[in-house]
Amino acid sequence: MIVPGSNSQALGAALAAETGYPLADVRYERFPDGERMASTPGIDSGVDRAVVVASTTTDAAHVELLQLQDAAREAGADELVTVLPYMGYGRQERAFEHGQPVSARAVARAVSTGTDRVVLVNPHEASVTDFFDAPCSVVDAAPRLADPLPPDLEEPLFLSPDAGAVAIAESTRDAYGRGDVDYFEKVRHSGTEVEVTPGDADVSGRDVVVVDDIVATGTTMSESVGVLADRGAAGVYVTCVHPLFARNARSKLERAGVSAIYGTDTIERDVTATSVAPAVADAL
Ligand code: R5P
């Protein structure tokens, strides 16, 4: 049985269709004091296997996930798998200053208490898998990023805004079937200030697909789009696994001159154009 969190209902349905597992009737309610109650009133007693699918994009989503794990256990699930399509706090994988928590470890430990195993989709740092006390595997959804791209891109260049995402750009290019791969050098000055330095690739008259694991504030992508537009790219397409799109990310990209924006359903947004369900289903 697939048990979706409130932020992952479309992906839950896609995963149910992909696996043939039934989709649980889940209720998301709140008490007058603000506390949440996520429940699965229709779950079969003694269900063999429950798959809780919940992107933890908010603090509330973390609580909801713990409740859904507990509800599935309470209903007698023999095996419980937790899929975190997007792992919130995953980018806090270390204490950056003395006195700070390793937040990714803290949430990983909490998630581990209620599950037999964990599946992550393209975590920002692969090392976060070590923080889970339960066995944890990773799904690479990058090949799905090729799905919504126009088939007739002109001399496509798949470009990552930093060296860390070049593997995702390569996977996307491989799935698309043709094109070159390059990356920018990126220096982050603050949470909302980055500087990107182009490589040597000539982008003039070419379609460029900028590929990253996540668009958060949109700073990285909008800087990249602006540089590519200045250098004469024909079209600049943005695609990512996790379309978080915090604050004014969308406006920043549009103002920078992006041609189109695509993302997966790890975070359900209006730019969601492909599903990670087939890749996640393979990992279940
Ligand atoms: C950084 O290493 C990541 O791959 C992303 O480039 C980054 O997290 C995106 O953040 P933002 O959209 O806020 O620039």
pLDDT tens digits, one per residue of 138-169: 999 999 999 999 999 999 999 999 998 999 99
Query: What is the spatial distance between Cα 28 and Cα 112, in angstroms, rounded to a whole number?
Result: 22
Residue 198 has pLDDT above 80, yes or no: no
Q: Atom 10, ligand 1: which residue's CA is nearest? A: 216
Query: What is the spatial distance between Cα 233 and Cα 156, in angstroms, rounded to a whole number?
Result: 10
229 bridge partner residues? none
Mutate to test the pocket of ligand 1, among 212, 227, 248 (most ligand atoms within 8 A of CB): 212
143-265: CATH topology is Rossmann fold (3.40.50)
Query: What is the spatial distance between Cα 107 and Cα 184, in angstroms, rounded to a whole number?
Result: 32
Spatial CA neighbour of 276 closest among 284, 265, 267: 265
Q: Which residues line ligand 1 (CB under 6 A)?
A: 161-162, 164-165, 194, 212-221
Ligand 1 centroid–CA 124 distance in Å is 9
Q: Where are the domains of the chain?
A: 2-141, 143-265
Q: What value does the mean pLDDT take over residues 223-235?
A: 95
Index of the ligand 1 atom closest to the CA of residue 215: 12
- CATH top-level class for 2-141? alpha beta
Percent of the chain with pLDDT over 70: 100
Q: Atom 5, ligand 1: which residue's CA is nearest? A: 214
What is residue 125's predicted lDDT score, i.e. its pLDDT? Answer: 93
Index of the ligand 1 atom closest to the CA of residue 244: 12
What is residue 243's predicted lDDT score, i.e. its pLDDT? Answer: 98
What is residue 42's predicted lDDT score, i.e. its pLDDT? Answer: 76
Ligand 1 centroid–CA 186 distance in Å is 10
* Sign of the alpha-carbon torsion through 222, 164, 65, 192: negative
Q: What value does the mean pLDDT take over residues 210-224?
A: 96
Q: What value does the mean pLDDT take over residues 162-177?
A: 95
Torsion of Cα atoms, 141 then 261 then 275 then 169, to 10°: -20
Known catalytic residues?
186
In this prediction, residue 269 has a pLDDT band, given cuts at 50, 70 and 90, of very high
Instruction: Give the long-range contacts of residues 190-199, CB within 8 A, separation 24 or more.
Output: 191/217, 191/219, 192/217, 192/219, 193/219, 194/219, 194/220, 194/223, 195/223, 196/161, 196/162, 196/220, 196/223, 196/224, 196/227, 198/227, 198/228, 198/231
Q: What value does the mean pLDDT take over residues 178-198?
A: 84
Ligand 1 centroid–CA 212 distance in Å is 8
Residue 46 has pLDDT above 80, yes or no: no
Among the ranges given (38-42, 78-82, 238-242), the one the predictor scored with the smallest mean pLDDT:
38-42
The mean of the pLDDT values for the chain is 95
Residue 98 has pLDDT above 90, yes or no: yes
Q: Atom 2, ligand 1: which residue's CA is nearest? A: 164
What is residue 200's predicted lDDT score, i.e. its pLDDT? Answer: 76
Which is more confident, 22 or 189? 22
In sequence order, what E strands does 79-161 have?
A: 79-84, 117-121, 136-139, 157-160
Ligand 1 centroid–CA 216 distance in Å is 6
How many CB atoms are located within 10 Å of the residue 164 CB? 14
What is residue 190's predicted lDDT score, i.e. its pLDDT? Answer: 79
